[in-house]
Structure 1
Amino acid sequence: MASGRTRRTLVAVVAGGLFALGVVAPGPAAAPPPRAAQADGPTVPEPREPRPPLLPADFQGTGRYIVRDLGIDVPFSWQGRDGNSQMTAGGPEHPIWFTNLIYENTLYTLTYRWPNIPLFPPRACSKVPGFFNRQIFNDKLKTARYVGPEILQGEKDRHVDHWRVGVVGGSTVPGEFFRFPIALGDIYVDQHDPSRWWQVLQFGLQNLFDPELDEWFTMDTFDHRPGEVTLPDRCPPPTS
């Protein structure tokens, strides 16, 4: 996203208001290879079964947080330790600065700075009601729909699996009662290790400060060393 494009036979990129569509012309048709040339000859490998995204208990990564319609591109970090995790975008010297946490079975968000939004005195830390932890998050990721394999182009091409996960409010029976989208995410994870995240486009009610309601981040590094997770002083104690 921030540093490259997604390449497939049918290319489609949606990133903070940027749309690109292209088709790669096919070459001459060729007969499909046989599954086995002979009894003791080579075989065509079976298609791999993609695994849905997984948030690991311990990790740390760095990248960029982007809000295209506001012209925002700031540093981003995401760290996890013992199942707790923390995202931080920007900082005191940037036009955007916020942190989101999953901490001791509680979900928090704290926005220090956002363009054209008065946050002085700084907005209070929001503690989302209810019980929420890494296991609940991963259980939701198991319902993600597989879009397909793709290549994120940049300084280093990354072979990823593209998944889409959403949350809808209202009736579970389409057409019976009003339903409304709460959140939608396009998630790009390593094809060989779905616990290694490389890119996320997120859209929904959690993006209310953004005029277009969409934000995204792209990772430059992501490994499984334990990170640092710190609950800000102004955030209330976690759920017991």
Structure 2
Amino acid sequence: MGRTLTRRAAVSAVLAGVIALASATLSPAGAGTRAGATPPPATAATGPAASPAGTATTTGPTTGTATTTGTTPGDDATAPAPRPPRLPRDFRGRGKWIVRDLGITVPFTWEGRDGDSQMVAGGPQYPIWFTNLIHRGTLYTLTYKWPGLTEHPCSRIPGFDLDTLNRKLGTARFVGREILQGNPSRYVNHWRVGVVVPQLPPGKFLRFPLALGDIYVDQRDRGTFWQVLQFGIQNLYDPELDEWLVMDTFEHRPGRVTLPARCSSPG
């Protein structure tokens, strides 16, 4: 499975990820973006088709996003936690990017190939349009359109790759086994990952939560990501500092990753 203080910070996980989501995919403050093993064939699941191109939707009482309810039947609170989320090297999926406080939902794609990965939300016909990608060991973000945004540089963070992201995801805390109610409903493991500074021992110390990510992966396969909530400084463009990605499909086959020309030029 994430701007400097004037750009989108990476989630690891979350985010950004994408996180990262990351992050969804989460990353420390000062980052420049917005947030595995091959599963058995039965877990390379797909769901309903994503929102058709050219149709931005406004979030209301219902948005088409999944909601959580309780724990899965037979869940045992004393059972050991499953293994944490791990973004695979090759995948492709479609879904929605949701900014609830702005009332905006746009189409979203997330794809990976040979360890590189790319998120694209919206497009030229939508009020939001950005891309985050990990490409050859560098994390990039380029926001083409966002309400109130007048600057559009490509931010780069060298030294960030899939292993960096998965190491952060490996520190996630298990929340519980849940059901995302939708069409279809999905049985997921809910995880939380965050970045807090400064890193100090337990006790009465002043500390700041810079970024948080809630990650929902398939119970049968920790490499199948269905939903990510990003909250924190990496969502600085949004007044309420939170954004969602919700996947309708997620397949374990190579996707397409394309570095924008604006990011490939120096400066």
TM-score range, shorter chain: 0.7 to 0.9
**What are the residue-to-residue correspondences of 1:48-197 with 2, within 5 Å?**
49-119=81-151, 123-128=152-157, 130-175=158-203, 178-197=206-225
Identity among equivalent positions (%) equals 62
CA distance in 2, matches of 1:3, 1:177: 38
CA distance in 1, matches of 2:217, 2:240: 25
Paired residues in the alignment total 200
CA distance in 1, matches of 2:203, 2:142: 36
How far is 1:134 from its partner?
0.4
Query: Which of the pair has the greater relative contact order for Cα pairs under 8 Å at 6+ separation?
Result: 2
CA deviations over 1:166-224 (Å, ceiling 9, x no partner): 01122423456532222100000000101000000001111110000000110000011
Higher Cα radius of gyration: 1
Q: TM-score normalised to the size of structure 2?
A: 0.70
CA distance in 2, matches of 1:49, 1:116: 43
C-alpha contact (below 8 Å) 1:160/1:188 kept by paired residues: yes
Cα RMSD, aligned residues only: 2.2
How far is 1:60 from its partner?
0.3
How far is 1:117 from its partner?
2.1
| SS across alignment from 2:262 | coil
C-alpha contact (below 8 Å) 1:52/1:141 kept by paired residues: yes
C-alpha contact (below 8 Å) 1:6/1:150 kept by paired residues: yes
- Name the one with the larger strand percent: 1
C-alpha contact (below 8 Å) 2:116/2:162 kept by paired residues: yes
Q: TM-score normalised to the size of structure 1?
A: 0.78
CA distance in 1, matches of 2:197, 2:265: 28
C-alpha contact (below 8 Å) 1:197/1:219 kept by paired residues: yes
CA deviations over 1:50-101 (Å, ceiling 9, x no partner): 1210100000000000000000100000000000000000000000000001
